[in-house]
Amino acid sequence: MIGLVYGTRPEYIKVKPLVDELREKGKKCVVIQVAQHSSLLDGCEYDVLIPVEASTGNRLNDIMLSVLSHKLPSGLEKVVVQGDTTTGVAMAMNAFHNNIDVVHMEAGLRTNDKQNPFPEEVNRRMISALAKTHLCAREIDEDNLYREGFAKDDIHVTGNTVIDNLVGIQPSPGRTVLITIHRRENHEHIAEWFKKIEELANVYPEYDFVFPMHPNPNVQKHKGIFNTVKVIDPIPFAEMKERVAACAAVITDSGGLQEECSFFQKRCFVCREVTERPCGSSMLCPTPKDLYRQFSVHHTTPVNEVCDFGNGDSAKIISEIL
């Protein structure tokens, strides 16, 4: 039996296509949810729930302790962990300690900077050390693992399952600029990012700047900066992917949105010092000033690159490997 684990909504979005594929093929699997972002997990299916007990006063420590102390369902032969969250590290460690094979989806992503993104860059390296099977979205991720000494036979290039969710949606030109910024490394300067985005919204009135704002209090406390930018509640993925397909551009620090923008050939302004997902649709913006400059120059520059995160058949490829 195969266990598939997630603790955040982005993880669920990427695990769901594989769950559907395995069940369609009649393969026995169990979906395990860790309540890492419980406020954002409404509607996300699970067979087993691991509640995060608040005991140490530190959210990351509480996640690790809750998952490591949880007894996994009997009969598991493999545990599939997605991405680079604390949930993934904890579950990989739990499975490894119980002699259950760890399968890492979205393996091999690297920035080679332990602080960017923090703590994800270290998390995914830890999962790599525990994993028996590495499922990479792209060949450049595969190359990273080769250089680190992992065995070639244990590494597979599969594409990214997030693309499976987008097949059949036709992109169209639009006038909305979608915004999502919430990563921990941006919290210290998030007011500066917001002020520069508000400035862009005033300079470019031909666009509607829309910000589905993450519930993190470090993000929410600055929403009063916006007047021209329209702040809305987080929206379901089904709606978000349609919005991305029909937008003019995206301003984000999200890795998943970079992949979706690549598929829909949308210009993506990435508010980070470095990205582990370099691609032709993305413009790296290490500072708010860089964002303003890059947007001013490239907001109408077309994206012609073909998406290299897969063709929408990643779940099928992964199920065959499993």
Q: Give 50-91 pLDDT, tens digit per residue.
A: 988 888 888 888 889 999 999 999 999 999 999 999 999 999
Q: CA nearest 75: which of 117, 47, 106?
A: 47
Neighbours of 147 (CB within 10 A): 10
Structure tokens at 175: 């006038």
Q: What is the per-residue pLDDT for 183?
A: 86
Decide if 2-157 and 176-298 have a common fold: yes
Q: Are 126 and 92 in contact (CB under 8 A)?
A: yes
CA–CA separation, 81 and 105 (whole Å): 6
Q: Give 14-38 pLDDT, tens digit per residue.
A: 999 999 999 999 999 999 999 865 6
Domain boundaries, the chain: 2-157, 176-298
Arch. (CATH architecture) of 176-298: 3-Layer(aba) Sandwich (3.40)
pTM summary value: 0.93
Instruction: Report the range of poorest mean pLDDT among 52-56, 131-135, 277-281.
Output: 52-56
- Residue 28 Cα to chain centre, angstroms: 26
Helix (H) or strand (E) holding 294: helix 288-298
pLDDT exceeds cutoff 90 at 260 = yes
Q: What is the per-residue pLDDT for 38?
A: 62
CA–CA separation, 80 and 6 (whole Å): 9
- Give how far Cα 125 sits from Cα of 119, 128, 163, 177, 254, Å: 10, 5, 24, 34, 19
Q: What is the per-residue pLDDT for 36?
A: 64
CATH superfamily of 2-157: Glycogen Phosphorylase B; (3.40.50.2000)
Section 8-19 average pLDDT: 94
